[in-house]
């Protein structure tokens, strides 16, 4: 399917690895010029080279997206984005009793305030130009809690509610705002969780990964490319009537009807 966004410009935050990278590559494949972002030079260089293979312009912003300087650098690289994909690292697994005030504020900054700031900075420009697509990577834990990820879930739920109103406010301008809620996708973050759990349980990371995959109705983890394709569709010309939605991609793991 031609996504109808060739020549558009996108900022894809936290996109040197994992789900962000997959979104960046799927947009590049659709002919979108992209800004990629991360804090590791080598990872960024690899993703830059893979994206350039699609013949699009690729800019690299090595910066912490949660900082004002990082955000300024992203908009300096692409002052008038048509597409914004909000992504970031997530707070580490932690018992909620161990999360002090500083950690709470850092988690909320990462997963709620940062996307709010980035959206505020570009949404009106998109509206004036009559086209905008904003996709926020949240988590299935927003609807189905995971112990140890409470801060991540709470901050992302806050973002989701904040944007539920904003998406309707800007809908007349041709800008859509949606969330994708990943379940278990095979990325460094997911694998890191098994390493962490291995130390607590004494089971090997491989054993834990296998058990987790088997617990999912699809009996496997999602592949980042599957996630990227869904993101690119939500950014496409065909998705202009989809806004304020939360797309759960989890192989059926969250057991619910609606």
Ligand X SMILES: NC(=O)c1ccc[n+]([C@@H]2O[C@H](COP(=O)([O-])OP(=O)(O)OC[C@H]3O[C@@H](n4cnc5c(N)ncnc54)[C@H](OP(=O)(O)O)[C@@H]3O)[C@@H](O)[C@H]2O)c1
- The minimum distance between CB 116 and ligand X, in angstroms, equals 15
86 near ligand X, judged by CB under 6 A = no
Helical packing angle, 18-29 and 41-52, nearest 10°: 20
Of 57, 48, 53, the C-alpha closest to 6 is 57
- The minimum distance between CB 37 and ligand X, in angstroms, equals 5
17 near ligand X, judged by CB under 6 A = yes
236 near ligand X, judged by CB under 6 A = no
Q: Which of 81, 115, 182, 251 binds ligand X (CB under 6 A)?
A: 182
Size of the site for ligand X (CB under 6 A): 29
243 near ligand X, judged by CB under 6 A = no
179 near ligand X, judged by CB under 6 A = no
Task: Compare residues 137 and 229 and give the one whose CB is closer to ligand X.
Answer: 137
Residues 185-214 that bind ligand X (CB under 6 A): 185, 187-190
Task: Compare residues 126 and 159 and give the one whose CB is closer to ligand X.
Answer: 159
In the stretch 123-162, what mask flags binding to ligand X with x, by CB under 6 A? --------------x-x------------x----------
20 near ligand X, judged by CB under 6 A = yes
Single out the segment in contact with ligand X by CB under 6 A; choices: 71-79, 177-185, 212-220, 233-241.
177-185
Q: Which of 25, 26, 90, 228 binds ligand X (CB under 6 A)?
A: 90
How far is residue 222's CA from residue 38's CA, in Å, rounded to a whole number? 22
Task: Compare residues 34 and 170 and give the one whose CB is closer to ligand X.
Answer: 34
Q: What is the DSSP string of the chain?
A: ---S-TT-EEEESS-SSHHHHHHHHHHHHTT-EEEEEES-HHHHHHHHHHHHTTT--EEEEES-TTSHHHHHHHHHH-SS-SEEEE----PPP--GGG--HHHHHHHHIIIIIHHHHHHHHHHHHHHHHT-EEEEEE--GGGTS--TT-HHHHHHHHHHHHHHHHHHHHHGGGTEEEEEEEE-SB-SHHHHHHHHHHHHHH-S-HHHHHHHHHHTSTTSSPBPHHHHHHHHHHHTSGGGTT--S-EEEESTT-S----
| C-beta neighbour count of 257 within 10 angstroms | 3
Residue the block writes with tokens 């990820």: 149
Sign, CA dihedral 104-194-183-225, equals positive
Q: Which of 11, 35, 65, 77 binds ligand X (CB under 6 A)?
A: 65
Q: Which of 9, 25, 43, 135 binds ligand X (CB under 6 A)?
A: 43
Task: Compare residues 117 and 124 and give the one whose CB is closer to ligand X.
Answer: 117
Q: Which of 64, 118, 126, 231 binds ligand X (CB under 6 A)?
A: 64
**Positions in the binding site for ligand X (CB under 6 A):** 14-20, 37-40, 43, 64-66, 87-90, 137, 139, 152, 182, 184-185, 187-190
């Amino acid at each position: 399917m031609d996504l109808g966004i060739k020549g558009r410009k996108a900022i894809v935050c936290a996109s040197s690895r994992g789900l962000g990278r997959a979104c960046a590559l799927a947009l590049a494949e659709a002919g979108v010029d992209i800004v990629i972002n991360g804090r590791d030079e080598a990872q960024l260089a690899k993703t830059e080279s893979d994206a350039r293979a699609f013949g699009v312009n690729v800019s690299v912003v090595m910066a912490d997206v949660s900082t004002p300087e990082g955000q300024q650098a992203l908009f300096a690289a692409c002052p008038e984005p048509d597409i914004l994909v909000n992504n970031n690292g997530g707070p580490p697994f932690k018992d909620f009793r161990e999360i002090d005030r500083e950690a709470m504020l850092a988690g909320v900054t990462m997963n709620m305030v940062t996307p709010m700031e980035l959206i505020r900075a570009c949404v009106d420009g998109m509206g004036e130009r009559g086209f905008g697509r904003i996709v926020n990577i949240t988590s299935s834990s927003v609807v189905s809690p995971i112990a140890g990820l409470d801060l991540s879930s709470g901050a992302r739920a806050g973002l989701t509610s904040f944007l539920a109103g904003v998406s309707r406010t800007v809908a007349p301008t041709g800008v859509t705002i949606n969330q994708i809620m990943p379940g278990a996708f095979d990325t460094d973050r997911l694998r890191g969780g098994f390493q962490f759990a291995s130390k607590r349980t004494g089971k090997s990371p491989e054993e834990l990964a296998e058990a987790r995959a088997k617990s999912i109705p699809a009996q496997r983890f999602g592949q980042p490319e599957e996630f990227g394709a869904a993101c690119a569709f939500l950014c496409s010309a065909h998705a202009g009537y989809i806004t304020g939605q939360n797309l759960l991609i989890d192989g059926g793991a969250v057991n619910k009807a609606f």
